Chain A
Amino acid sequence: MMVFAALRLGNGDGMNQGDQKTGAFEYLTTRKDELIGWARKFSIFPYPFVTACCAMEFMSVSSTLYDTDRFGAALPRFSPRQSDLLMVVGTITHKQAPILKKVYEQMCEPKWVMAFGVCATSGGFYQNYAALQGIDKIIPVDVYIPGCPPRPESVIDGIMQLQDRIAGSKHPIINETF
């Protein structure tokens, strides 16, 4: 019944009036966001942008013992166009920064960014002419994982926090409100 009401409202000229009366539209939107969030949080296709020694820890966390496949985040896509999660693993230099920016821009929405390790997060101990002091200077970051390198447990914690964030956020699929 509620679905029917919402669909009628959606088809009609104004969504607002009926909406305010019943709350049906909000209800449907919430359920829709929940459903899509649930689906998306278990199908994070990562793009590993690996530049430095953190790669070793990335290999460790994605293979058998720690197994990020449990979170649906194991299948690396080596094309930014197919991936949802940009994992920036390692130091980003100023010379590398334009490439990272381009890769980020090539990813389709929805997309998330993980700063893996202290160098990607803040530049780490590289406070010099060469290193970018944190990738959030050039692209927005959703989850930061500290450590040099981070332990696999920290990475898994980061992935789970990102999952919570995905599950709890809005997922517009038609326009900004729905």
Chain B
Amino acid sequence: MNQELLERVRTRLVSEGREPEFAHGLLALSLPRPALLDTVRLLKGEFGFDLFLDVTAVDWPGRDPRFDVVFHFYSTRDHVRVRLKTAVPENDPVVDSLVPLFGSAAFMERECHDMYGIEFRGNADLRPILLYEGFQGHPLRKDYPKEREQPLVRYRK
């Protein structure tokens, strides 16, 4: 674990409303929405975080803003991870797409859009990837009923 590098990243990023802290041996960073793309560009260009691991969301019902969008990055040179977290409200669940920086983001953003209904500005193809056309709602949101089924084939009898 390259603690020294993470410390450098932390001191470099602690500004503009970003709050870096260490959690479970990785650097976790909360940041405001507009700072996302710049921060990722900095991580990729300056610190060599060249692998985009995942994007997902966390639903906090009752909290405002309701969703956290969570990104993970990995440096294949230094073997360290960074987590970015940004909060988005329910009525405007939009964040910038990372497709210009990481091509692999396209599919992962589609999945996140399926499951949580987060819009990724700049991702041209947000068709369902795991769900199917015509599926109503977003199943990993906490207010999606557990028993609600949307079958494609008519049931017998």
- Flag if B151 contacts A97 (CB, 8 Å): yes
10 contacts between A and B (CB under 8 A): A94-B149, A94-B152, A95-B131, A95-B152, A98-B153, A130-B139, A133-B149, A137-B151, A138-B154, A138-B155
Interface size class of A (residues with CB under 8 A): 10 to 19
Interface size of B by CB at 8 A reads 15
Is A101 close to B, CB under 8 A? yes
Q: How many A-B residue pairs have CB under 8 A?
A: 36
- Which one of B132, B146, B154, B155 contacts A128 once the chains associate, using CB atoms below 8 Å? B146
- Flag if B153 contacts A128 (CB, 8 Å): no
Residue of B nearest to A128 (CB): B146
- Flag if B155 contacts A94 (CB, 8 Å): no
The interface residues of chain B lying within 8 Å CB-to-CB of A97 are 151-153
- Flag if A138 contacts B156 (CB, 8 Å): yes
The interface residues of chain B lying within 8 Å CB-to-CB of A137 are 151, 155-156
A102-140, CB under 8 A of B: which get 1 and which 0? 000000000000000000000000011110110011111
Question: Main SS of chain B's interface residues?
Answer: loop
- Chain B 105-157 residues near chain A, CB threshold 8 A: 131-132, 139, 144, 146-156
The interface residues of chain B lying within 8 Å CB-to-CB of A139 are 156
The interface residues of chain A lying within 8 Å CB-to-CB of B144 are 129
- Flag if A127 contacts B155 (CB, 8 Å): no
The interface residues of chain A lying within 8 Å CB-to-CB of B151 are 94, 97, 132, 137
